[in-house]
Amino acid sequence: MENHVTELIQAVEKADTSEGLLDAVKALCAIRHQAAISTLIDVLKYNNPGAAVAAVDGLIEMGDIAVSPILEQVDGYNYGARAWATRALAGIGDPRALELLLDAALNDFSLSVRRSAAKGLGGIRWEKMPLKDATRAKQEVLAALLKVSQDPEWVVRYAAIVGLENFAISTDGTFQLEEIFTRFQEMRESENEPVICARIQLAESVLDKYR
């Protein structure tokens, strides 16, 4: 098995066409082996969106074991790689990524990073966090998402709505649900983007059952 993993990693490293790289990454992802994680993270730095999407999907499928390596290898200078890494962490939902996601959603200059982080904040798996820490962390997430819902970029605001909806669902509507509805109402009254208003309406319809 180890020899096979090594061969698949080498295939990724030696790929000399976009199609060849994509096929090699998909093959490496398919084995779901921990030894593949570092190589998949490296793929996020390549200028190949197709391969990056495949690598992100592979890292998400690997789940929690990929979190620490991603956090250790996030590229602070390559915003494209950072966006893909954020997307992977968002898809996994491990609380260990919470600090990075909060900072990225609030402060990153790249709208693609802010968008991925905002969406990811709604998908934190709270059951994996000690109860004594969860209440404070939930407050931080809610405050961040409310602030991000005012982002100047509409795609980031859209992601914040998705994040708020998923956050409310993840907490079974028990954590300051009315504050979320109040923010939705404020946004609807001031928002100029029809797609944002439509997404707010959808979120409200989904969350109504928790009221």
In this structure, what token pair is assigned to residue 84? Answer: 């893909």
> What is the rounded distance in angstroms from the CA atom of residue 103 to the CA atom of residue 38?
23
What pLDDT sits at residue 131? 87
Q: Do 1-92 and 93-211 have matching folds?
A: yes
Long-range CB pairs of 163-168, under 8 A, 24+ apart, other chains included: 163/118, 163/119, 163/120, 163/121, 163/122, 163/123, 164/122, 164/203, 165/122, 165/203, 165/206, 165/207, 166/119, 166/122, 166/123, 167/121, 167/122, 167/124, 167/138, 167/141, 167/142, 168/207, 168/210
Domain 93-211: CATH superfamily is: Leucine-rich Repeat Variant (1.25.10.10)
Whole-prediction pTM value? 0.90
What pLDDT sits at residue 1? 62
The model's confidence at residue 4, banded by pLDDT at 50, 70 and 90, is: confident
The model's confidence at residue 159, banded by pLDDT at 50, 70 and 90, is: very high
What pLDDT sits at residue 47? 85
- Domain 1-92 part of CATH 1.25.10: yes
Where in the chain are the domains? 1-92, 93-211
